[in-house]
Amino acid sequence: MRSFAALVAIFLALAARPLAAQEIAYEQVALESMGEAGGGSERFVRVRTAAVPQGIAAYGPFRVLGQTRAALVDVTDARSPAAFAAMMSAFPQIALLEMVECPGTEDDRANLRLGRMIRAAGIATSVPAGGSVRSGGVELFLAGSRRMADPKAEFAVHAWMDVDGREASEYADTAPENAKYLTYYRQMGMTDGEARQFYAMTNSAPHEHALWLTGSDMAKWVRLDASEG
């Protein structure tokens, strides 16, 4: 596993490139940590960027594509819930969130709060062909009032690791580090059994190596809806 300094150097070098270059690839690096229970820790997999739509307005990692559609195109962070609220205030008719390039989150607590906001707004989530939803981004996909995914859409999950090097399996199911995810999944419409099975699947992949799934694979774990149109 590369040192933190090396990872930062890779990220800064790539961030300095024009958008067209960024669309090619990031070096495959999985970063995931929990920090303290309930804290704002990082959970993302920065592998590559897809082509990012510019839209008609930008609110943090969101791009407004029209009066009823928005896209998620980047990592979420502590500011993302406020950005989402501002977007919905300006465009209250948004009913569909297209998940184009979703590496995960830099603030796990804020990410779960954002997911609950998406759910409360009754917004559907959709991963189009070529779309990629990874790590903490998967929680936001689950927030959709309706969930749609192209059969060849890309998903990535893997086990989190805390600052002490411990993963989910090393904590009791009832520990806060695990319970907060199971609670969230149930709030997103899963039964308790579905939540536990899905969470176990995500943690079956070790921290260092993401488990890659297609939209067809995800349909085996999450109830999906037929795509609109």
What span, in angstroms and rounded, lies between the C-alpha atoms of 51 and 73?
9
For residues 204 and 102, give the distance between their C-alpha atoms in angstroms, rounded to a whole number. 21
Residues 6+ apart with CB under 8 A from 31: 7, 42, 43, 44, 45, 46
How many residues in total does the chain contain?
229
**CA-to-CA distance for 175 and 102, rounded, in angstroms?**
28
**Which helix H or strand E contains 181, and what residues bound it?**
helix 176-187
Confidence (pLDDT) at 227: 79
Six-digit token string for 179? 């319970």
Walk along the chain (229 residues) in steps of 10 and give the mean pLDDT of each run.
37 32 30 40 65 91 98 96 98 98 91 97 96 95 98 90 79 90 96 96 86 96 85
Spatial separation of the C-alpha atoms in residues 149 and 9, rounded to whole Å: 34
8 φψ region: left (φ > 0), alpha (ψ -120 to 50), beta (else): alpha
Domains of the chain: 4-218 (3.90.226)
